[in-house]
Amino acid sequence: MPRLVSDLAVEVLSKSNTKAEMDRKLRDYFAAGVSLIWYIDPKTRSARAFTTVDESVEITEGGNVLSGLIISLRTLFAKANRSRPS
């Protein structure tokens, strides 16, 4: 059976995530063969795109990370805020 690996992994950070946990996940994703990892941070309304364990770029609302793919963080966070229970 062929081994399938995603090109992109996305993690939405929460208050309970620790730096150690997220560092471990990052290493695990790259070890599995994932080529791009996004950490979405609702608290700062930003994202960080990792291409290696040590290389990343921060994306803020209005930023662009993949050529041809447009995802508005502003829209994403607005939808997330509307779906949260009061």
31-86, pLDDT tens digit by residue? 999 999 999 998 888 889 999 999 998 887 666 656 666 667 777 778 777 766 55
pTM (2 decimals)?
0.71
Number of independent structural domains in the chain: 1
Tokens representing 10? Answer: 């996305």
63 falls within a domain: yes
Q: In which domain, by residue range, is 65 found? A: 8-83
Distance CA 29, CA 35 (A): 8
Neighbouring C-beta atoms of residue 9, cutoff 10 Å: 19
40 falls within a domain: yes
CATH number assigned to the domain comprising residue 35: 3.90.1570.10
Residue 2 has pLDDT above 60, yes or no: yes
61 falls within a domain: yes
2 falls within a domain: no
24 falls within a domain: yes
3 falls within a domain: no
Distance CA 19, CA 35 (A): 21
Distance CA 17, CA 85 (A): 21
17 falls within a domain: yes
